[in-house]
Structure 1
Amino acid sequence: MSSKYVPASGLGRAVNELEETAIAVILGAMTLITFVNVILRYVFSSGLIWGLEAVTFLFAWLVLFGVSYAVKITAHLGVDAVTSLLAPRTRRIAAIVAGLICLAYAALLLKGAWDYWANFANLPQTTGRWFPTGFEEMKRTSYRGWYEVVDISFPEWLRFIEPVMNEGEHYEKLPRFIPYFILPFGMALLLFRFVQAFLAILCGDSDSLIVSHEAEDAVEDVRHMNAGD
């Protein structure tokens, strides 16, 4: 039975489009910035001061989008040396347990990501040691929306956020809460994808979270190449 689960819901399609579009745009932007920086450096002895930092942030966004997208397209590697020996019913139970563990793991990541990002977004962190039980009471001294990145200049079209996030003071550089937003957002996408995969197991559309056998596929490709010789 195939382990690939493609959601038919409108939300699932919207998330698919978001991930695929974001990944394509990020890859294009990284390539363009790097190419321009190389030309400027080796031809004009110049460069984009903000280029390296921008590419670093874009790469982080790409990785975190890719983590959830890989769950959707069943690209994560898995080892089924043990589960493949189990009876179908036992294998399904093991898949449900693995799904529950993945859901708990994604929820923990989401809580940690939110709490870290909230430091820079003038928002309260969650309470609770492992899972959120509420939100902490915010104090004016807790606001850190004024934290800026090192090199990326603040775009003029975002000046409208200054009264809300920086008490009316002007930003010189991009505030950190903007590039750091991918942390809670990416973990929310990951949790969403694990929920989809878990529901697929419960509904019988999938019998395992093991979704990719890249090493076996590579060996099979080599075997075919040798056979062709």
Structure 2
Amino acid sequence: MSGAKTGPSGFINTLEETLIALLLGLMTVITFANVIARFIFNSNILWALELTVFLFAWLVLLGAAYAVKAHAHLGVDAIVNILAPGPRKVVALIAALCCLAFSLLLLTGAYDYWAVFADLPPTSGRWFPTGFDLKARSQSFYEVQDVPMLGALRFLEDLINYGESYEKLPKVVPYLVLPLSMLLLVYRFAQATVQVLRGEADRLVASHEVEDELDEARGPCD
């Protein structure tokens, strides 16, 4: 096994790919089961739609971070392509740093939104964290609309809900994807910045080289 496949980076790659595959599979199974329930058994899985929406949100947010790693995001590279290698590296580095800074702001906002549902203090400060707002009102008792509470997550009742029981899944669970995905996004843009500095990449988005690779994959059959 190569070095690129081992260590923390390899673990994160495996985790992302496994989660994305699992989310796609769960969405397919739940949607199919609900169709069968409706049209064959004249019934309905009440929580199926809401859970599918949550799974889709997880898929999109985690996929956004993974797409940075795979250079799968689309962008305009007309100007980059006419630059010499030196200026192209400078432009790519500026773009990477801007994306990294923006992803850090997204991470702060995502944590602040999720923290109140986890009975944690959000950060203080308008643009940059200046500490924690210990006076923020906890919203750990908020529940989703339809998805029932899972027995395996009953520990959350004592951990964040002061012993009060949940009838539905607490919002802290599905909303966990917000800080998690933004943390992964920060990690991926940090990786991209290092790649540009090392000369391993000269842009963050997919270029016309992708079209060449697709043509090579098709082979000489045309």
TM-score with structure 2 length normalisation?
A: 0.90
Measured after TM superposition, the shift of residue 144 of structure 1 is 1.0
Would you say the 8 A contact 2:72–2:205 is kept in 1? no
Secondary structure in 2 aligned to 1:31? helix
Q: Please give the alpha-carbon distance, in whole angstroms, between the structure 2 residues aligned to 1:157 and 1:101.
A: 41
Secondary structure in 2 aligned to 1:174? strand
After TM superposition, the structure 1 stretch with the greater mean CA deviation from structure 2, 193-202 or 157-166, is 157-166
After TM superposition, the structure 1 stretch with the greater mean CA deviation from structure 2, 32-41 or 149-158, is 149-158
Measured after TM superposition, the shift of residue 129 of structure 1 is 1.7
Find the counterpart in structure 2 of residue 206 from structure 1: 201
Segments ≥4 residues shifted beyond 4 Å: 6-9
Find the counterpart in structure 1 of residue 41 from structure 2: 44
- Structure 1 segments unaligned to the other structure (5+ residues): 1-5
Q: Report % sequence identity.
A: 52
The structure with higher relative contact order (CA 8 Å, sep 6+) is 1
Q: Please give the alpha-carbon distance, in whole angstroms, between the structure 2 residues aligned to 1:108 and 1:56.
A: 25
Partner residue of 1:158 out of 131, 153, 159: 153
TM-score with structure 1 length normalisation?
A: 0.88
Residue identity opposite 1:105 in structure 2? F
- Structure 2 segments unaligned to the other structure (5+ residues): none
Q: Please give the alpha-carbon distance, in whole angstroms, between the structure 2 residues aligned to 1:113 and 1:7.
A: 30
Measured after TM superposition, the shift of residue 133 of structure 1 is 2.4
Q: Specify whether residues 138 and 164 from structure 1 end up closer, same or farther in structure 2 by C-alpha distance, changes over 3 A only.
A: farther
Measured after TM superposition, the shift of residue 210 of structure 1 is 3.0
Find the counterpart in structure 2 of residue 3 from structure 1: none
After TM superposition, the structure 1 stretch with the greater mean CA deviation from structure 2, 175-184 or 198-207, is 198-207
CA RMSD of aligned residues (A): 2.2
Partner residue of 1:149 out of 139, 144, 147: 144
Measured after TM superposition, the shift of residue 8 of structure 1 is 5.8
Partner residue of 1:101 out of 78, 98, 109: 98
Would you say the 8 A contact 1:78–1:213 is kept in 2? no
Q: Please give the alpha-carbon distance, in whole angstroms, between the structure 2 residues aligned to 1:111 and 1:85.
A: 36
Find the counterpart in structure 2 of residue 123 from structure 1: 120
CA offsets, 1:92-124, max 9 Å, x none? 111111011000110111111111111211111
Measured after TM superposition, the shift of residue 213 of structure 1 is 4.0
